């Protein structure tokens, strides 16, 4: 399997690729992450994954580039990364004792050819005491996470159950990515 370029600086995505034994390097390009008017959460995540991968692929002709974007969706609305501790607490109170979806879109690009996929995982949060939420936010862990929590970290204390791919909740649907890489290699006869 030829080396992959990960169009993301996410340490979680990098860790997951390392765990799967997928050789990769990181080269990310900042993109405007504003939601376009009328754009659904799936359309939004897919567009960002594609734009990130295409921007990096322009610098690496002939190389495989993987872009990804993860969003947390509650009642059809995207919950982004908290802007501050108060916002993190507000997001976590909204999620408490409820189900939400984690969507991760991935785009694999090589020489202008784009393969896209979206993984959806349902997550149910526990009813959480305000003091637990406050203590969790004080750890700093929620601040760079979509939806304000990390299921693979201390945030696991807030999660009741997950239905679907746990890796997706971490930010990269690893089984789907492996499937895409294998499919691309078969297509190219590698």
Positions annotated as catalytic residues are 69
Task: With H, G, I as helix, E, B as strand and everything else as coil, classify residue 5.
Answer: strand
Rounded CA-CA distance 2/111 in Å is 15
Q: Distance between CA 80 and CA 84 in Å, rounded? A: 12
Alpha-carbon distance 107 to 62, whole Å? 16
Asked whether 7 and 55 are in contact (CB, 8 A), the reply is yes
Alpha-carbon dihedral sign for residues 48, 52, 58, 60: negative
DSSP-assigned letters across all residues of 141-166: GGGGSGGG--TTTGGGGGEEEEES-H
User: Within its chain, how far is the Cα of 72 from the centroid?
Assistant: 9
Cα gap 52→28, rounded to integer Å: 7
């Amino acid at each position: 399997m030829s080396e992959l370029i990960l169009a993301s600086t996410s340490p979680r995505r990098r860790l997951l690729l390392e765990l799967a034994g997928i050789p990769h390097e990181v080269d990310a390009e900042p993109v405007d992450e504003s939601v376009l008017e009328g754009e659904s959460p799936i359309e939004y995540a897919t567009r960002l994954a594609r734009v990130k991968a295409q921007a990096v692929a322009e610098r690496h002709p002939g190389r495989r580039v993987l872009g990804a974007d993860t969003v947390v969706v509650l009642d059809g609305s995207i919950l982004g990364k908290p802007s501050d501790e108060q916002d993190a607490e507000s997001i976590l109170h909204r999620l408490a004792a409820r189900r939400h979806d984690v969507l991760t879109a991935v785009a694999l690009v090589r020489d202008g050819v784009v393969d896209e996929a979206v993984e959806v995982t349902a997550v149910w949060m526990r009813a959480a005491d305000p003091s637990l939420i406050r203590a969790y936010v004080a750890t700093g862990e929620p601040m760079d996470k979509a939806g304000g929590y990390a299921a693979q970290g201390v945030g696991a204390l807030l999660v009741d159950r997950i239905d679907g791919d746990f890796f997706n909740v971490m930010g990269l649907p690893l089984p789907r990515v492996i499937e895409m890489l294998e499919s691309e290699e078969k297509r190219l006869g590698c």
